[in-house]
């Protein structure tokens, strides 16, 4: 079968398992995050569309708006490319207990569908070797929802796992930040909201972020043994969402 696509990845130490200290994980190098407009324009430019990019974008946004409405009514969705459903997270202590926003949460779960799975054999993976492991974020967990590498709940805790990510040093640039992918605005975590500050784990209170998509950045002079003269930035490769 012809290779139609190519993705690149770097290898990182697997910090999430203890059984094999030498194992590695691959993380895809994301070129950039595409929105509906950019995908619509790409479809037209490649010649795979018989409508304009504007018409396609308008139709897609209407479709997603209706999909969201139906998901909020408890329907599941199967597009062939992905499935989606509504979940309730949290424990109910008795049959009489009712839903409480303080104890329980609602989230939407998306999984790949068959039409996307059949494309996997068309992808060539190029391993670029070991990544610069000077400072790396490998996983973030929204403590409120339990969501991994996906959701952010402002005002609640976020656990950041990685390597050499302790915030240390006197440079004013140091800190933990949320980069808005749409506006490029950076919101800093107040130093008093850094609950845990260890080389392999940070626990912070998420600032009051508006709805949107964000990238977590850790800027620090920390390294093993001594502090660096200049800060370095570890940016997480996944986009996180405030709904």
The tokens describing 238, both together, are: 């996944």
Kindly report, residue by residue over 52-105, the tens digit of the pLDDT: 999 999 999 999 999 999 999 999 999 999 999 999 988 999 999 999 988 888
pLDDT-based confidence at residue 227 (cuts at 50, 70, 90): confident
Q: Which residue has the tokens 């569908």?
A: 113
Question: By the 8 A CB rule, do 144 and 153 touch?
Answer: yes
Largest Cα–Cα distance in the chain? Answer: 60
> Domain total for the chain?
2
Claim to verify: residue 137 and residue 120 sit in the same structural domain: no
Instruction: Supply the CATH number for residue 218's domain.
Output: 2.70.50.70
Instruction: Supply the CATH number for residue 82's domain.
Output: 4.10.520.10
Strand, helix or coil for residue 205: strand
Claim to verify: residue 9 and residue 122 sit in the same structural domain: yes
Q: Which residue has the tokens 């209407």?
A: 62
Cα separation of the two ends of the chain:
40
CB neighbours of 10 closer than 8 A, spacing ≥ 6?
26, 27, 29, 127, 128, 129, 130, 131
Is pLDDT of 131 > 80?
Answer: no
Boundary residue ending a domain (126, 151, 179): 126
Q: Considering just the CA atoms, what is the radius of gyration of the chain in Å?
A: 21
Is pLDDT of 30 > 80?
Answer: no
Question: By the 8 A CB rule, do 178 and 140 touch?
Answer: no
Strand, helix or coil for residue 122: helix
| Crossing angle (nearest 10°) for helices 53-72 and 36-45 | 140
Q: Which pLDDT belongs to residue 228?
A: 87
Claim to verify: residue 10 and residue 122 sit in the same structural domain: yes
Strand, helix or coil for residue 93: coil
Claim to verify: residue 108 and residue 165 sit in the same structural domain: no
Claim to verify: residue 113 and residue 166 sit in the same structural domain: no
The tokens describing 67, both together, are: 């999909």
DSSP conformation class of 68: H
Q: Which residue has the tokens 């479709």?
A: 63
Claim to verify: residue 102 and residue 38 sit in the same structural domain: yes
Q: Which pLDDT belongs to residue 105?
A: 87
Domain of residue 43 covers 5-126
Boundary residue ending a domain (108, 126, 144): 126
Claim to verify: residue 157 and residue 188 sit in the same structural domain: yes
State the Cα–Cα distance between residues 141 and 9, nearest whole angstrom.
22
Boundary residue ending a domain (126, 141, 160): 126
């Amino acid at each position: 079968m012809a290779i139609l696509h190519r993705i690149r990845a770097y290898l990182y130490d697997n910090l999430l398992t203890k059984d094999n200290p030498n194992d590695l994980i691959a993380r895809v190098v994301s070129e950039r995050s595409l929105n509906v407009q950019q995908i619509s324009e790409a479809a037209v430019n490649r010649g795979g569309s018989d409508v304009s990019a504007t018409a396609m974008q308008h139709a897609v946004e209407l479709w997603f708006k209706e999909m969201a409405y139906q998901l909020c009514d408890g329907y599941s969705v199967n597009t062939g490319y992905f499935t989606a459903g509504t979940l309730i997270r949290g424990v109910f202590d008795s049959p009489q207990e009712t839903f409480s926003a303080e104890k329980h949460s609602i989230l939407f779960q998306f999984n790949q569908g068959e039409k996307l799975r059949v494309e996997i054999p068309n992808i060539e993976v190029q391993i670029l070797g070991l990544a610069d492991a000077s400072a790396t974020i490998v996983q973030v967990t929204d403590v409120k929802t339990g969501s991994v590498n996906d959701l952010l709940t402002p005002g609640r805790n976020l656990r950041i796992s990685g390597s050499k990510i302790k915030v240390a040093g006197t440079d004013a640039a140091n800190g933990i930040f949320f980069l808005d992918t749409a506006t490029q605005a950076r919101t800093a975590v107040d130093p008093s909201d850094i609950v845990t500050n260890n080389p392999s784990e940070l626990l912070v209170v998420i600032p009051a972020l508006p709805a949107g998509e964000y990238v977590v950045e850790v800027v620090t002079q920390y390294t093993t043994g001594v502090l660096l003269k200049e800060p370095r930035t570890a940016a997480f490769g996944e986009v996180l969402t405030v709904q």
